[in-house]
Amino acid sequence: GHFDLIMWVHVSQKFSVNAIFTEMLDAATERGGHQFSNLDTLQQKLEEELNGKKILLVLDDVWYHDSVSQLQLEKIVSPLNVGSAGSKILVTSRSKDALVALGAVRRIPISELNDSVFLELFMHSALSGANIDERDRNVFAEIGRGIANKLRKSPLAAKLVGGQLRMRPDVDFWRDAGNRDLLKDTRGALWWSYQHLDEQVRRCFAYCSIFPRRHRLKREELIKLWVAEGFIETTGEGGEEEALAGKYFEQL
C-alpha cells in the first residue's frame, strides 16, 4: 500500500498520553498486551517500531478544552517525528482549536447531511429487511418521516432508533415513538433505544461497563462470559446459548 503502517486511535474528551501511545504500539506491532508504567520507556519503544516507516496516523474525535493542554496534543503526535517523509496525520474533531493546537495544514469542514440524505439513511435503518407487508410500507414510511424530522440529522440517532423500529414492525409502536419528544435530543434517542432493548440484551450491554475504558472487547470471549454469567436464557439444547449470544452481540 501507500503507507507502511496505518494506525487508528480514538482519542475522546478524556485521554492519557500513556493510553494513546499504548494503542499506537499495539497497532504498530499487531499485538496487544503492552504495559509500560514509564512514559519515556513506552515512547522509546514506540519510536523504535515507527522509525523509518511511512505512517498514516488517524486521530479520531480529538477535543481541546480546559483539561486538555496543547502540550498533551503535541505529545501524542511526537513519535511520528521518526517516521519517513510522506507520513501523514489525519485528525477528526468538532473543535477548530484542536486543529490549531496540532498545527493542521489543511482543514476540511464536513457539512451536516441534507434532509433527503438523512431521511434515506433513517429509512434504510428502519425499513431495510423489516418484516412489513408491501401494502403497509407506505404507512410506515409516512410515520417514519415524522420520526426522522425529530432526530435533528444525527446519524447515530438514525441508526439506533431506526434499528429498534425495524425490529418492531407495529404501526402503534411506530406512532408512539413519533410522539416522543425524547427523540429530539441525541442522548434522549440513545436512552429511548436502550429502554426498548430486550431485557437479556440490556443485561448483556450493561455487563460491558465492567471493562476499563479503551478495552478491546473480543466477540468470542464476551459471548462466553455472557453465557457463563447466566445472562442467556434459552429453552433449547445446550450450545444454543452461544448462538443466541452471538445474535445479541451483532444487535449491539
**Domain residue ranges of the chain, discontinuous segments joined by +:** 5-101, 115-195, 199-251
Rounded CA-CA distance 7/27 in Å is: 6
pLDDT attached to residue 88? 92
pLDDT attached to residue 66? 67
Mean pLDDT of 68-86: 85
Cα end-to-end span (Å), the chain:
33
- Relative orientation angle of helices 219-228 and 199-207, to the nearest 10 degrees: 110
Contact yes or no for 42/18 (Cβ under 8 A): yes
The 10s digit of each residue's pLDDT in 192-231 is 998 888 888 889 899 888 887 767 788 888 999 998 888 8
pLDDT attached to residue 67? 62
Contact yes or no for 46/83 (Cβ under 8 A): no
Kindly indicate the confidence band of residue 147, based on its pLDDT and cuts at 50, 70 and 90. very high
Confidence (pTM): 0.70
> Which residues make beta-bridge pairs with 114?
none
Show the cell assigned to 165: 423500529
pLDDT attached to residue 149? 92
Q: Which residue has the cell 434459552?
A: 234
Q: What percent of the chain has pLDDT above 70?
A: 96
Distances (CA, A) of 154 to 19, 91, 159: 29, 21, 9
Rounded CA-CA distance 175/172 in Å is: 5
From start to end of 125-239, where are the E strands?
A: none
Q: Which residues contact 31 (CB under 8 A, 6 or more apart)?
A: none
Contact yes or no for 182/170 (Cβ under 8 A): no
Looking from the CA of 94 toward its CB, the CA atoms found within 13 Å total: 7
pLDDT attached to residue 102? 84
Kindly indicate the confidence band of residue 98, based on its pLDDT and cuts at 50, 70 and 90. confident
pLDDT attached to residue 121? 94
- Residue among 113, 114, 126 nearest 166 (CA): 126
Q: What percent of the chain has pLDDT above 90?
A: 31
What is the four-CA torsion angle of 52, 53, 58, 64, rounded to 10 degrees?
0
The 10s digit of each residue's pLDDT in 13-67 is 778 888 889 888 988 888 777 778 788 899 999 999 999 999 999 999 888 776 6
Mean pLDDT of 166-188: 89
Mean pLDDT of 125-146: 86
Q: Tell me the average pLDDT of the chain.
A: 87
Contact yes or no for 55/22 (Cβ under 8 A): no
Kindly indicate the confidence band of residue 236, based on its pLDDT and cuts at 50, 70 and 90. low
